[in-house]
Chain A
Amino acid sequence: MLKVRSKLLLGALSLVASGTMAQADGKLSLYCSAQEDWCQLMARSFEDATGIDVNMSRKSSGETFAQVKAESVNPKGDVWWGGTGDPHLQAAEENLTEAYVSPMRDQLHDWAISQATSANDKTIGIYSGALGYGYNADILAANNLPAPACWKDLLKPEYKGHVQMANPNSSGTAYTTLATMVQLFGEDDGFDFMKGLHTNVNQYTKSGSAPIKAAARGENTIGIVFMHDAVKQAVSGFPITVVAPCEGTGYEIGSMSIISGARNMENAKKFYDWALSAEAQNLALEVNAFQVPSNKGANTSESAPDMSSITLIDYDFSKFGSSDERKRLLQKWDNDVSVLPQ
């Protein structure tokens, strides 16, 4: 027995001598936090464009942040693309992501670059979406309701039981809504607005885009969501009208970052530059993603909201993205708003 075994070992050892070290080029590990089909399309198109193998894994931006943090000593991902800006900014703050100044910058909108400068070039804007709401025109008509145009319209008693929004505890969209009201009306009036809204809300959904989907199906009248989600339903043929509230509104900036210590740094930068190009950003339309692309030359859908006609507030991402402020506002909403009778 022993003899057989030692021969085996010998054989294995001679293999060692002839073995060569592995080379890990031609690969890219992409963490994607946008919708699944968009992620797939980005990964495949980048493969087609460069021949680099993309290993894509899709997780929500919160999960991805947790994963990048957990792997920080031994990063497995190279680029983190998509998802709302807050966790990207937080990752930049904790030095989990790498600073990079792309040659593509001169093609980008200002808001995309200001996202980068506020994080010392460790992240950049790839798309943006403004908050608003949409309503089902058929149901509105069936109930003889006037068409709303402003945030404050939603407080009117005739809309009682007709408004739906997500729960800010479980949805980033709804947290953005809460933070927007606080910035738009001031903290006290903002919370008064949320309280007034509460009496009209028929359900706090778990996921951010659910209210407008319910409205599209005729299961709800008005849904507070990001406008691009409402546009998507309208384009799919549902009787949805998109509203950009008259008082002005908040927005999110979908971001991209290179993970610090990426194993395939060169390829990560290639992807970064490619993802900022008009050609890559045009892919969004193929999967009905109606966010506004950050490249000035990229196409926007005719149905997409025209950002220039929307009054955007000066959203303070660093303050309202910080976990302390988030926790405080959510706690306050939990204690002061959610417990009120409807």
Chain B
Amino acid sequence: MKISSSENKTLPVLIFWILAGWVGFAVLPWYGVEDGFFSFDWVFDGYPMDRDYAPAAFLLAQGKNLWLAPMVFALLAPLLVLRLKKSDPRYGAILLAVGAAGLAWLMAQGLAIGIRGWTTDWLGLAFGPLDSRQYGMGYGALLTASAFLFLFTQGLAARGAINGDVFVVSAITGVIAIVAIFVFFPIAKLMTAAFIGDDGSISILSFLAKFGDRRIWGLGCFSGGRCGAAWNSFFLAIIVATITTTMGLVFALVVTRSGFKYKRLLRALTVLPIITPPFVIGLAIILLFGLSGSITGFFADVFGVQPTRWVYGLPGIVIAQSLAYTPIAFLVLIGVVEGVSPSMEEAAQTLRASRWEVFKTVSLPLMRPGLANAFLLGFIESMADFGNPLVLGGNYDVLSTEIFFAIVGAQYDQGRAAILAIVLLSFTLGAFYAQRFWLGRKSYTTVSGKGDSGVHPAMPRGLAIPTFAIATIWGLFTVVIYGMIFYGSVVEVWGMNHELTFKHYVTAFSFRFEDSGIRWSGSAWDSFWTTIKIATIAAPLTAAIGLITAYLLTRQNFAGRNAFEFGTMLSFAIPGTVIGVSYILAFNVPPVEITGTGVILVVCFIFRNMPVGVRAGIASMSQLDKSLDESSLTLGANSWQTFRGVVLPLLRPAILAALVYSFVRAMTAISAVIFLVSAEYDMATSYIIGRVENNDYGLAIAYSTTLIFVMLSAVLLLQLLVGKIRIGRRGAGREKE
């Protein structure tokens, strides 16, 4: 019964994809339309005969681009399958072969033939010179490629992969395909670019020469000179990670193990780094500690010392990054510190250990994985940070900014950028791998589900006093910094004229009513709306891909699951500047030619933020009992119906969280974005950087403040919504856990 029903249901899917393949090949423009993905001028502009807009079939009919012809066979062959039964072995075999062959040919021709004919010399030698050329793929190629991909997965399913479940096989293959195109392909391009010498040939020697550069690996700082960017980044990351971990622990202890009254306030601080545009803290620090900063000026007056530029360089970056990333460490550690079972500590106390001994020998060792986790997170964040070194770096060169200036500056050296990116990537991947390797094997579980009603003992006094002192100072400092940001946005010119004014807000966000509606005359509106638009498009896509991946990881068993998980989480460890450079290298040329469009920004955000969606999905999906899915499947639903009808509704909180998080991240991202923006698609953060470059601090800070409030309301809205959603019949008690 079940078999026949699934056979009837699969057929429409098959027909759909065969049709889609033909539509892509014969109806839609094969190549990318120059005016943009979402513009439809081409419909009236010479379609379908004009070379630039013609579908592949029309090109072939005119005798052009003949290398597209073999795909006709791959599109015709699946028609044979329609007459076969699904159980026929030829059914699966044909689909597999057709999908694989079509896709392979599509990719091969796309990579082999570019704007200037053959993309590599040996192809020209082998097949003779080629007069024609082709641009980046467009709607047609995209649709046909998807058709091949899903014909392939239907073949796989028909051969019995994952119990012949077409939805699961397609989902897995689909995720693999897009991760391959948008994560692995750019990274591979980056690796290749690092080996290309000045004369355009591939050589290991030029790689080694550039790689061994003194400006990357020099150790001159131990002998009075300067160190290379790699070491600078490394030292900085170690210092920052140590400080943030310590501070995070201090805050976590204050919240869980003391009588501190305003714990909610402290928790609220953790939201700050998520909603703060990346370089705002750096600006505030300049306003406080710079040569003309208010604190510097105060000390100069009181103690009669000459103000110096001490803040530019390592000290400034350390302060800014510590401020920015301590809340992240706090967020990680609070769970761990709370997770240490009180019964362990009580047992130790019963055995007459002093409070200090309990802390030192029981609590602290049990927090170790959390500490390691927090340290590595701090390390990765510091390495990847771009905004703070950009404004505070002084002569202290770090990898992330060096990459940027290798691309945008007068040197315009993509090879050097690629090499620096590889160095940076090895550091962060190393940390990422260490984290998984080190933490994956030990068990630190102490909460076991049995009666566990104890309370955490308070900290020993010798620890409590310094902890409190540090937490208070740090908290005050944070408040001052954010106060500074707001104050800076309402004064005329910081450091010169402190008259209060709203002029920066007016310049940025003025609008007026006209006959034709509201006219957004402020200078910031363009980038503001673009940012909102791009973030709004990217957020649901990120959530969707993240949740589907999470569903596959928690609910399905398939070969290579671990590699699959690693691949999808990988983009978390790739710093934004590396993503930016690799996207330029990979997507500036056919077959996927999307630089300068809005599409590349959307794509970039999806894959930057996907790991968060995956994590959120996994976390809430592992709370849902598998028996729910099983009963749905037993009642005859297929896996797609189960996913849609059972799993998805239960996941609403996770979906919302992923949505808001990716929305907010898209608004604050800078490191990757700065490579990918164009005049038409300028983002808020790159606009602000531009203002900073122009010495227009007032406007930059006013814009940042506005962004902070916009994002704060997004986060609060989420809290409100998620707080109200009650899932199914589960009691409120379970919910609180």
Which positions in A face B, CB cutoff 8 Å? 1-2, 5, 8-9, 12, 15-16, 19-22, 36, 39-40, 56-58, 60, 62-63, 65-66, 70-71, 73-74, 139, 143, 161, 169-172, 175, 202-204, 206-207, 210, 213, 216-220, 233, 236-238, 339, 341
Most chain B C-beta atoms within 10 Å of own C-beta, residue among A1, A21, A218, A236: A218
B405 at the interface (CB under 8 A from A): yes
B115 within 8 Å of A (CB atoms): yes
Give B490-520 as 1s and 0s: 1 = Cβ < 8 Å from A's Cβ atoms.
Answer: 0001111000000000000000000000000
B291 and A218: CB pair below 8 A? Answer: yes
CB–CB B46/A22 < 8 A? yes
Contact B291 A19 (CB under 8 A): no
Q: Which of B58, B79, B224, B495 contacts A2 (CB 8 A)?
A: B79
Among the interface residues B50, B117, B410, B690, which one has the most CB atoms of the partner chain A within 10 A?
B410
C-alpha spacing A76/B464, complex, angstroms: 67
Task: Give CA–CA (A124, B290) in the complex, Å.
Answer: 43
Given known contacts A1-B79, A60-B412, A62-B411, A206 and B49 CB-to-CB distance under 8 angstroms: no
Given contacts A9-B57, A217-B290, 6 further A-B contacts (CB under 8 A): A19-B46, A19-B48, A169-B409, A217-B695, A219-B291, A339-B225
Say yes or no: B45 contacts A22, CB within 8 Å.
yes
Among candidates B45, B495, B695, residue contacting A233 with C-beta atoms closer than 8 Å: B695
Whether, in the assembled complex, B142 has its beta carbon less than 8 Å from a beta carbon of chain A, the answer is no
Instruction: Point out residues on B near A: beta carbons under 8 Å.
Output: 15, 18-19, 22, 26-27, 45-50, 52-53, 55, 57-58, 79, 82, 115-117, 133, 220, 224-226, 286, 290-292, 306, 308-309, 312, 394-395, 401, 405, 408-412, 493-496, 596, 678-679, 690, 693-695, 697
Expressed in whole angstroms, the minimum distance between the Cβ of B197 and any Cβ of chain A is 14
Identify A73's interface contact among B27, B46, B57, B133, CB under 8 A.
B133
* A57 & B678 in contact (Cβ 8 Å cutoff): yes
Q: Which residue of A lies closest to B493 (CB)?
A: A237
Q: How far is A341 from B405 in the complex, measured between Cα atoms in Å?
A: 24
Cβ-defined contact, A71 with B401, below 8 A: no
| 21 A-B pairs with C-beta separation under 8 A | A1-B18, A1-B82, A12-B48, A12-B55, A16-B58, A22-B53, A56-B679, A57-B678, A60-B409, A73-B115, A74-B133, A169-B411, A171-B410, A210-B693, A213-B695, A217-B494, A217-B495, A219-B286, A219-B290, A220-B309, A341-B224
A175–B410 CB distance below 8 A: yes
CA gap between A66 and B18 in the complex, in Å: 42
Contacts of A40 in B (CB 8 A): 679
Contact B292 A219 (CB under 8 A): yes
CB-defined contacts of B292 to chain A, threshold 8 Å:
139, 217-219
B495/A204 in contact, CB under 8 A: no
With contacts A16-B58, A73-B115, A73-B116 taken as known, whether A219 is within 8 angstroms of B410 at the C-beta atoms is no
Tell me if A219 and B82 are in contact (CB < 8 A): no
- A198 nearest CB across to chain B (Å): 12
Does the CB pair A216–B22 fall under 8 Å? no
Is A236 a contact of B412 with CB atoms below 8 Å?
no
Q: Compute how far the CA of A278 lies from the CA of B646 in the bound complex, rounded to whole angstroms.
A: 70
Closest to B291 in A: A219
Specify which of A56, A70, A218 is in contact with B495 (CB 8 Å cutoff).
Answer: A218
CB atoms of B116 and A5 under 8 A apart? no
Are B225 and A341 interface neighbours, CB within 8 A? yes
Q: A9-B26, A39-B679, A169-B411 are in contact. Are A217 and B697 (CB under 8 A)?
A: yes
Q: Is the Cβ of A62 less than 8 Å from the Cβ of B46?
A: no
Please state if B291 and A220 are interface contacts (CB–CB under 8 Å).
yes
Q: Chain B residue with minimal CB distance to A4?
A: B19
Closest 5 CB pairs of A and B: A22-B46, A218-B292, A170-B409, A62-B412, A172-B410
Query: Are A16 and B49 within 8 A (Cβ)?
Result: yes
Which of A9, A57, A170, A202 has most chain B Cβ within 10 Å?
A: A170
Query: How long is the Cα–Cα vector from A1 to B116 in the complex, in angstroms?
Result: 40
Nearest CB of B to A132, in Å: 18
Question: Which residue of A has the minimal Cβ distance to B396?
Answer: A203
Chain A residue nearest to B312 in the complex (CB)? A203
Complex Cα distance, B286 from A210, in Å, reads 15
Most buried by B among A16, A66, A238: A16
Assuming the contacts A56-B679, A161-B309, asked whether A21 and B49 have C-beta atoms less than 8 A apart, the reply is yes
What's the least CB distance linking A4 to chain B, in Å? 9
Partner of A8, one of B27, B290, B401, B412: B27
> Are the C-beta atoms of B409 and A219 separated by less than 8 Å?
no
In this complex, the member of B47, B82, B395 whose beta carbon has the largest number of chain A beta carbons within 10 angstroms is B395
Shortest A263–chain B CB gap in Å is 11
A202 x B49 contact (CB < 8 A): no
List A contacts of B312 (CB < 8 A). 203, 219
Q: What is the chain A residue whose CB lies nearest that of B584?
A: A63
B395's closest neighbor in chain A, by CB?
A203
Closest to A9 in B: B26
- Tell me which of A12, A21, A57 contacts B50 (CB under 8 A): A21
- Known contacts A16-B49, A22-B45, A218-B495; A206/B26 CB under 8 A: no
Find B412's partner among A15, A63, A203 (CB 8 Å cutoff): A63
Q: Which residues of A contact B116 (CB under 8 A)?
A: 73-74
Q: How far is the CA of A233 from the CA of B679 in the complex (A)?
A: 25
> With the chains together, A36 CA to B682 CA distance in Å?
11
Task: State the Cβ distance, B250 to closest chain A Cβ, in Å.
Answer: 32
Q: In the complex where A21-B49, A74-B133, A220-B291 touch, is A36 in contact with B679 (Cβ < 8 A)?
A: yes
Q: How far is the CA of A219 from the CA of B411 in the complex (A)?
A: 26
A341 to B22, CA, bound (A): 68
Which listed residue (A15, A71, A206, A219) contacts B405, Cβ 8 A? Answer: A206
Assembly CA distance A15 to B537 (angstroms): 34
Chain A nearest CB, measured from B220 CB (Å): 7
B194, chain A: closest CB distance, angstroms: 17
Are A66 and B412 neighbours in the complex by a CB distance under 8 Å?
yes
- The distance in angstroms between the C-alpha atoms of A317 and B55, with both chains bound, is 49
Residue of B nearest to A204 (CB): B395
Kindly report which residue of chain A lies nearest to residue B407, judged by CB atoms. A63
Determine if B695 and A216 form an interchain contact, defined as CB atoms under 8 angstroms apart.
yes
Contact B49 A36 (CB under 8 A): no
Q: Which residue of B lies closest to A61 (CB)?
A: B410
- In the complex, what residues of A have CB within 8 A of residue B57's CB? 9, 12
Which residues of chain B have C-beta atoms less than 8 A from A233's C-beta? 695
* Central interface residue in B55, B291, B405, by most chain A CB within 10 Å: B291
* Residue of A9, A63, A204 touching B408 (CB-CB under 8 A): A63
Which B residues touch A1, using CB under 8 A? 15, 18, 79, 82
Asked whether A206 and B291 contact (CB < 8 A) given A12-B27, A62-B411, A217-B697, the answer is no
For residue B409, which residues in chain A have a CB less than 8 angstroms away from its CB? 60, 62, 169-171, 206-207
Residue contact A20 to B679, C-beta cutoff 8 Å = no
Q: In the complex, A152 Cα to B477 Cα: how many Å?
A: 44
**Given A12-B27, A73-B115, A217-B697, residue A170 in contact with residue B411 (CB < 8 A):** yes
Contact present for B22 and A5 (CB under 8 Å): yes
Asked if A21 and B224 sit within 8 Å, CB to CB, the answer is no
Query: Which residues of chain B are near A12, meaning CB under 8 Å?
Result: 26-27, 48, 55, 57-58
In the complex, are the beta carbons of B410 and A62 less than 8 A apart?
A: yes
Closest Cβ of chain A to B734, distance in Å, is: 52
Minimal Cβ-Cβ distance residue in B for A202: B309
The chain A residue with its CB closest to the CB of B82 is A1
CA distance A110 to B50 in the complex (A): 46
Specify which chain A residues have a CB less than 8 angstroms from the CB of B309 in the assembled complex.
161, 202-203, 219-220
* Distance A161 CA – B395 CA, assembled complex (angstroms): 13
CA–CA, A219 and B19, complex, Å: 65
A236 B115 Cβ-Cβ under 8 A: no
Do B695 and A236 touch across chains, with their CB atoms under 8 A apart?
yes
Whether A57 contacts B79 by the Cβ 8 Å rule is no
Contacts of A204 in B (CB 8 A): 395
Does B50 contact A22, Cβ atoms closer than 8 Å?
yes
> In angstroms, how far is the closest chain B Cβ from the Cβ of A25?
12
What's the Cα separation between A217 and B496 when bound, in Å?
Answer: 8
Which one of B401, B412, B496 has the highest number of Cβ atoms from chain A below 10 Å of its Cβ? Answer: B412
CA distance A203 to B392 in the complex (A): 11
Chain A hits for B679, CB < 8 A: 36, 39-40, 56-58
Contact assessment for A19 and B82 in the assembled complex, using a CB-CB cutoff below 8 Å? no
